[in-house]
Amino acid sequence: MRLHPFGLVEPESLSEALDAVTRLDGEARLVAGGTALVPMIRLGLVKPDRLVSLQRVPVLAEIRKDGPALELGAMATHADIERSRAVRDGWPLLREAVRRVATPAIRTSGTIGGNLAYAEAASDPAPALMCHDAEVRVAGPHGGRTVPISRFFRGFYEAALEPGEIVTAVRVPPPPVGARGGYIKFTSRSAEDKPLVGVAALITLDSSGRCTDIRIALGGAAPTPIRAAAAERTVRGEALTDAVARAAAEAAARDAEPLSDLMGSAEYRREMIRVWVRRLLTALRDGTR
């Protein structure tokens, strides 16, 4: 397929990248790993006049500890995050989620910043980051700002980015002390496909089995990744019995707003939310994940 012709700009600093994006001579598109944008160009869904590559801005690829938190540069790939010793030792839920993204080739090129900016409802990393109350750092022509990930997804494939803004990093607080975490991805076609439903959870249980803290987030359950707030309220302060796990799963399904597509109908997705929320909660309770 013949590609629409475009120019390529390869800035070597964040300020150069911002200048290239905000120039007024035609439409510019940022390209990180290109795993989403390049297919869109091939299909003619977007026709940018120039691409602004972030590959030569080294500061955007760093993965480091910043005090107790984890700092992920926007250009850190899913494979980089999976291999990181810091992530392995302190953020196993995030590691579990990024290692489920698509194929090894996609994980090697796809970036965490590109994943979030694309605002895919069925993202694998997003539910895990939501359970960690992560923050997305953004730079633009008017300076930098920080957006809680709970407010970063505005709508279907729409992120909270203003014209000329670039995702620069993701700050990930550590999980609560003693928390157990897990991510389940259910696909109706290939294991390497995006999730029909993805469920991430962090739970903390006291010595009697009562839940003192819980965070549940879903992908593929609404036009954006979401926190399952009603399900969390159902479990918090209660012993995590089978009945409570079923009630939480029902609350998550009831509050979801799934869409129908070629992978499955909205009602099928809702039923899978019931199944996989319950299974993940009971597995975390029993220590089988």
60 phi, psi to nearest 5 deg: -80, -5
Domain that holds residue 130: 58-172
Around 177, how many Cα atoms within 13 Å sit in the side-chain half-sphere? 2
| 134, 152, 172 - which closes a domain | 172
Clarify whether residues 77 and 107 are in a common domain: yes
Q: How far is CA 13 from CA 32, 53, 217, in A?
A: 14, 11, 35
**Residues 114-165: tens digit of each pLDDT:** 999 999 999 999 999 999 999 999 999 999 999 999 999 999 999 999 999 9
Clarify whether residues 68 and 167 are in a common domain: yes
Clarify whether residues 156 and 196 are in a common domain: no
**pLDDT value at residue 275:** 98
Clarify whether residues 42 and 123 are in a common domain: no
How high does pLDDT run on average in the chain?
Answer: 96
Clarify whether residues 46 and 101 are in a common domain: no
Contact yes or no for 268/186 (Cβ under 8 A): no
**Residues 246-286: tens digit of each pLDDT:** 999 999 999 999 999 999 999 999 999 999 999 999 999 99
| 16, 36, 53 - which closes a domain | 53
Average pLDDT estimate for 226-240 = 98
